[in-house]
């Protein structure tokens, strides 16, 4: 089955038939067993470039001819950070973050998630990274699975391996505000398109941060890291604004009961975000990221099936490129140590 057929079956036979909200998530993204990696997904053109005359789709039990586009974005969430080792954090910053940004810019809004993917507890700590999901109660036993699924679908998630980032947009009119908090509006109206952006970062003292970065309607840079024309480049979003500790970012130590935490609060003016707004607090290998369907974004929409996405519209940029090697030998596996495949 193609990725599109798998996702269509999940939606038609499970998600759409169940009256309760459920989530379809793409795991592993750009590591050795991920869909983006194996298909050679270029998120700038929403196309795949793995299959060639030398390695046709039939060789991998897939239909179609060489050059067939197998990309399909009918998913609700995208796992952009898997585990918290140095290689995983680097992959998030150098690849997954940029690919997710490209999808946002194409109008394909999914929720970014981070998961510890713990198979062996002594080797991979549970909850690093984790997802802070908006809920109606702080009592874990009282949280309903349907509520969690609905929040993930709506993008009410903070993905992090330590810092917790929250964002609020306030309009000039009194009482009008938007946030990703449970039950709150995700949009806010402003006659002139100007709102006040309020950012709060909280982090344990063992996870110091020294930057808060804002990405608004982020463009990306493309880096050809291997000189191989048949592989998609690495994409990295271009920051709109960066606040740095010691310059324009104050990091305070705040007492909490008998302990303490690090905390920062930032406020500034912001014009309307037409496509997306992402805020990231980071430092010393720790990153807290909030974004996706943030206030001011267009409504989340379900993508078209493969071959009918924005990359296939007249005038859209496409990059189908011949691939002289098998997908399992792509540069990303050759250049980095990737853990042994482990199915979920």
Q: What is the pLDDT of residues 88-133, one digit of tens each?
A: 888 888 899 999 999 988 888 899 999 888 887 777 778 788 899 9
Q: What is the pLDDT of residues 208-217, one digit of tens each?
A: 888 898 888 8
pLDDT, residue 143, reads: 93
With a pLDDT cut of 90, the percent of the chain lying above it is 28
pLDDT of 49 over the 90 cut: no
Select, from the ranges 110-119, 138-147, 332-341, the one with the highest average predicted confidence (pLDDT): 138-147
pLDDT of 335 over the 50 cut: no
Beta strands in 205-309 (DSSP E): 211-216, 220-223, 234-237, 241-244, 252-256, 259-271, 277-283, 286-290
Query: Using 50, 70 and 90 to split pLDDT, how confident is the model at 180?
Result: confident
Q: Which of 106, 95, 98, 113 is nearest to 71 (CA)?
A: 106
pLDDT, residue 296, reads: 36
Give the separation between CA 231 and CA 281, rounded to whole angstroms.
31
> pLDDT higher for 168 or 344?
168
pLDDT, residue 190, reads: 74
pLDDT, residue 251, reads: 93
Instruction: Please name every residue paired with 159 in a beta bridge, in sequence order, or none if there are none.
Output: 131, 289
pLDDT, residue 156, reads: 92
pLDDT, residue 222, reads: 93
Q: What is the pLDDT of residues 272-325, one digit of tens each?
A: 544 456 767 666 555 555 543 343 333 444 444 444 333 333 333 223 232 223
With a pLDDT cut of 70, the percent of the chain lying above it is 78
Domain ranges across the chain: 3-332
For the chain, the distance separating the N- and C-terminal CA atoms, rounded to the nearest angstrom, is: 19
Do the beta carbons of residue 119 and residue 126 sit within 8 Å?
Answer: no
pLDDT of 261 over the 70 cut: yes
pLDDT, residue 272, reads: 57
CA atoms within 13 A on the CB side of 288: 23
pLDDT, residue 263, reads: 95
Q: What are phi and psi of 125, to 5 degrees?
A: -60, 140
Q: Which of 114, 123, 144, 141 is nearest to 282 (CA)?
A: 114
Give the separation between CA 214 and CA 90, rounded to whole angstroms.
19
pLDDT, residue 294, reads: 40
pLDDT, residue 308, reads: 36
- The H-or-E segment that residue 36 falls in is helix 35-39
């Amino acid at each position: 089955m193609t990725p599109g057929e798998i996702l269509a079956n999940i939606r038609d036979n499970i998600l759409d038939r169940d009256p309760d909200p459920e989530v379809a998530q793409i795991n592993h993204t750009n590591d050795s067993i991920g869909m983006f990696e194996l298909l050679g997904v270029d998120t700038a053109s929403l196309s795949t470039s793995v299959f060639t005359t030398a390695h046709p789709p039939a060789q991998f039990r897939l239909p179609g001819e060489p050059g067939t586009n197998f990309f399909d974005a009918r998913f609700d969430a995208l796992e952009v950070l898997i585990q918290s080792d140095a290689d995983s954090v680097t992959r998030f910053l150098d690849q997954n973050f940029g690919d997710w940004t490209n999808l946002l810019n194409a109008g394909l809004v999914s929720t970014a998630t981070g998961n510890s993917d713990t198979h062996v507890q002594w080797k991979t700590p549970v909850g690093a990274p984790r997802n802070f999901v908006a809920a109606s109660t702080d009592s874990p036993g009282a949280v309903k699975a349907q509520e969690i699924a609905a929040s993930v679908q709506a993008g009410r998630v903070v993905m992090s391996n330590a810092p917790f980032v929250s964002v609020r947009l306030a309009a000039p009119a009194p009482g009008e505000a938007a946030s990703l908090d449970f039950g709150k509006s995700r949009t806010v109206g402003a006659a002139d398109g100007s709102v006040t952006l309020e950012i709060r970062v909280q982090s344990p003292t063992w996870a110091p941060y020294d930057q808060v970065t804002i990405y608004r309607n982020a463009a990306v840079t493309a880096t050809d890291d291997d000189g191989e024309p048949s592989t998609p480049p690495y994409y990295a979003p271009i920051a709109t604004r960066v606040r740095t500790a010691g310059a324009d970012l104050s990091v305070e130590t705040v007492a909490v009961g008998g302990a303490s935490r690090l905390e920062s609060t930032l406020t500034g003016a912001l014009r309307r975000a037409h496509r997306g707004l992402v805020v990231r607090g980071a430092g010393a290998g720790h990153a807290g990221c909030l974004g996706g369907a943030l206030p001011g974004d267009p409504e989340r929409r379900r993508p078209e099936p493969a071959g009918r996405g924005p990359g296939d519209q007249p005038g859209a940029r496409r990059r189908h490129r011949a691939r002289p090697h098998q997908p399992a030998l792509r540069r990303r596996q050759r250049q980095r140590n990737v853990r042994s495949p482990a199915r979920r």
